[in-house]
Amino acid sequence: MKIAVYSPNWIGDSVLALPFIKALKTRYPNATLYIFCKEWVSDIYWNHPDIDNIISVQKASLDSFIGTIKCGFKLRKIKLDYFFTLTDSFRSALVLRISGSSKTIGYKSQMRSFLLSDSRNKSKLTIHRSKKYLALLNEFEKLTIKPYLYISPSEQKWGLKEIKKMGMDKPIGLFPFSVSSKRTISKSTIIKWIENSQSDYLVFGSRNDIQKGNQLIDSCQKLSIKSICGKYTLRQSIILISLCKYALAADSGLGHISAALGVPTISFFGVGSISVTGPIGKKVRIFEHCYPCKRDLCDISNKEVFCLKKISKQDIELAVKKLIIK
């Protein structure tokens, strides 16, 4: 049996798709499992023992109608038995239909039901995205699988060498940036949290974050801190994150990665919904804060919400200690 999964297009969502992949392989242990994904998220799936093949395509290949058609026809060579789509896009359903898979499964969305042999209704309940994916197997209520990223011994060896080259040992990972400025943690807040620290810090981010990373470094002259924004591939960044002592993360894909690696992760949520897209891991602490800031209208009676401006270095250190003890 041959089964394919059309991956989500965002890094965080791809991490949250890993429980679905584990559950799928558990249900069909002898199946050959393919992941169809956009190139920039393919590194999430490397070395995963349940994945047999990764078919990654560049964004340009799916940007046009003709390109989408071509992608679908190329998949026909595999002769798939099942093809699941974890995205809600019309385009993904079109790829599934053209692939010639015997059975195509996905949620009703964007008037695409006619393209799917098994088109399912979404749950009316507010459920976590990982559970939404699992629900395609009708098992979101039964299973509590956590995402897990796999690092090979050779990758770990490479990462340790890179960390050593930087003159660091067990650095603390900083992921203050996000695609959305609303989810980015301000430079002044980060400085407040790490000032006078004797620890090593590594700032992670994309090429678009290079300038912001350098500005943060320039403001922390007396600290052991380096920015590697845009320097490494996503896979290389994953390896380096796995070697961090702990991580301070904005609501971003990197926060999901560190959580899935088992790295103690402090995640700061303002815009997003924790119940839908919160990171999952054995060692995760989420600080939920208000965005936009309510200022004088702040409802201090809500003990589950913390004012981001008032979260201190001591608050973070206490949270980290509790996570490390877990």
Q: Side chain identity at 4, as an amino acid letter? A: A
Label residue 300 by pLDDT band (50, 70, 90).
low
CA dist 275 → 10, 269, 279, 280 (Å):
18, 11, 10, 11
- CA dihedral in degrees (251, 256, 262, 265; nearest 10)? 0
Q: How far apart (Å, rounded) are the C-alpha atoms in residues 320 and 277?
A: 21
Please say if the pLDDT value at position 200 is more than 90. Answer: yes
The residues spanned by each domain of the chain are 2-137, 153-325
Using an 8 Å Cβ cutoff, are 283 and 265 in contact?
yes
CA dist 128 → 119, 125, 251, 279, 291 (Å):
20, 10, 15, 10, 21
Kindly calculate the radius of gyration of the chain based on its CA atoms and give it in whole angstroms. Answer: 21
Read off the pLDDT of each residue in 179-203 and give the average, rounded to a whole number: 91
3-class DSSP assignment, residue 303: coil
Please say if the pLDDT value at position 301 is more than 60. Answer: no
Read off the pLDDT of each residue in 265-285 and give the average, rounded to a whole number: 92
Q: Which of 15, 105, 7 is nearest to 54 (CA)?
A: 7
Please say if the pLDDT value at position 53 is more than 90. Answer: yes
Q: Give the DSSP H/E element, type plus range, for residue 192.
A: helix 187-194
CA angle, 214 then 216 then 218, to 5°: 70
Per-residue pLDDT, 178: 87
Please say if the pLDDT value at position 175 is more than 70. Answer: yes
Averaged confidence pLDDT in the chain: 92
Q: Which of 34-38, 200-204, 304-308 shows the lowest mean pLDDT across its residues?
A: 304-308
Q: How far apart (Å, rounded) are the C-alpha atoms in residues 267 and 197?
A: 20
Using an 8 Å Cβ cutoff, are 78 and 2 in contact?
yes
Q: How far apart (Å, rounded) are the C-alpha atoms in residues 193 and 309?
A: 10
Q: How far apart (Å, rounded) are the C-alpha atoms in residues 164 and 318?
A: 28
Considering the domain 153-325 in this protein, what is its CATH number? 3.40.50.2000
Using an 8 Å Cβ cutoff, are 24 and 43 in contact?
no
Q: How far apart (Å, rounded) are the C-alpha atoms in residues 324 and 13?
A: 26
313 alpha carbon, distance to own chain's centre: 25
Per-residue pLDDT, 296: 66
Label residue 294 by pLDDT band (50, 70, 90).
confident
pLDDT in tens, 60-99: 888 888 999 999 999 999 999 999 999 999 999 999 999 9
Label residue 47 by pLDDT band (50, 70, 90).
very high
Q: Which of 58, 68, 74, 56 is nearest to 94 (CA)?
A: 68
Per-residue pLDDT, 91: 95
Q: Which of 2-6, 176-180, 255-259 shows the lowest mean pLDDT across its residues?
A: 176-180
Q: How far apart (Å, rounded) are the C-alpha atoms in residues 313 and 103?
A: 53
Please say if the pLDDT value at position 156 is more than 80. Answer: yes
Read off the pLDDT of each residue in 123-134 and give the average, rounded to a whole number: 91
Please say if the pLDDT value at position 126 is more than 80. Answer: yes
Per-residue pLDDT, 142: 66
β-partners of residue 268 are: 250, 287
Considering the domain 2-137 in this protein, what is its CATH number? 3.40.50.2000
Please tell me if the domain spanning 2-137 has the same topology as the one spanning 153-325.
yes
Q: Which of 106-110, 123-127, 206-210, 248-252 shows the lowest mean pLDDT across its residues?
A: 123-127
Please say if the pLDDT value at position 213 is more than 90. Answer: yes
